[in-house]
Amino acid sequence: MLLHGTDALTAAARESTAIPGFVAYNLETVQAVVAAAETSGRPVLLQAGSSAFKHAGREALMALALDTARRSTARIGVHLDHSRDLAEIAACIDAGYTSVMIDGSHLPFAQNVALTRTAVAMAHEAGVWAEAELGALAGDEDVSTGATAAGGSMTDPDQAAEFTAATGIDALAVAVGNVHGFTAEPVRLDLDRLAAIRDAVPVPLVLHGASGLPEEQLLGALRRGVAKVNVNAELRRAYLTAVESALPSALPGSDTVATWAAARDAVTAAALRITERLATAARPV
Ligand code: 13P
Give every CB contact of residue 26 below 8 A, 6+ residues apart in sequence.
55, 56
Spacing, Cα 250 to ligand 1 middle (Å): 30
The answer to pTM > 0.75 is yes
Dist. CA 194–CA 143, nearest whole Å? 26
Dihedral sign from CA coordinates of 210, 213, 216, 220: negative
Give Cα 174 to chain centroid, integer Å: 12
Number of H helices, E strands in the chain: 11, 10
* pLDDT tens-digit readout, 92-131: 999 999 999 999 999 999 999 999 999 999 999 999 999 9
Dist. CA 51–CA 36, nearest whole Å? 23
Give Cα 152 to chain centroid, integer Å: 18
Report whether residue 232 contacts ligand 1, using a CB cutoff of 6 Å: yes
Q: How far is CA 281 from CA 14, 68, 182, 196, in A?
A: 10, 28, 25, 21
Report whether residue 141 contacts ligand 1, using a CB cutoff of 6 Å: yes
Dist. CA 143–CA 182, nearest whole Å? 9
Would you give per-residue pLDDT tens digits along the chain (285 residues)? Answer: 999 999 999 999 999 999 999 999 999 999 999 999 999 999 999 999 999 999 999 999 999 999 999 999 999 999 999 999 999 999 999 999 999 999 999 999 999 999 999 999 999 999 999 999 999 888 888 989 888 877 779 999 999 999 999 999 999 999 999 999 999 889 999 999 999 999 999 999 999 999 999 999 999 999 999 999 999 999 999 999 999 999 999 999 999 999 999 999 999 999 999 999 999 877 677
Told to judge if 81 belongs to the known catalytic residues of this protein, a careful annotator would answer yes
| Strands 179-180 vs 171-174: parallel, antiparallel or unpaired | unpaired
Report whether residue 20 contacts ligand 1, using a CB cutoff of 6 Å: no
* pLDDT tens-digit readout, 189-211: 999 999 999 999 999 999 999 99
Dist. CA 113–CA 109, nearest whole Å? 6
| Strands 179-180 vs 226-231: parallel, antiparallel or unpaired | unpaired
Identify the structural domains of the chain with CATH numbers, from first to last: 7-278 (3.20.20.70)
Q: How far is CA 76 from CA 31, 65, 67, in A?
A: 12, 10, 11
Spacing, Cα 272 to ligand 1 middle (Å): 17
Dist. CA 21–CA 7, nearest whole Å? 15
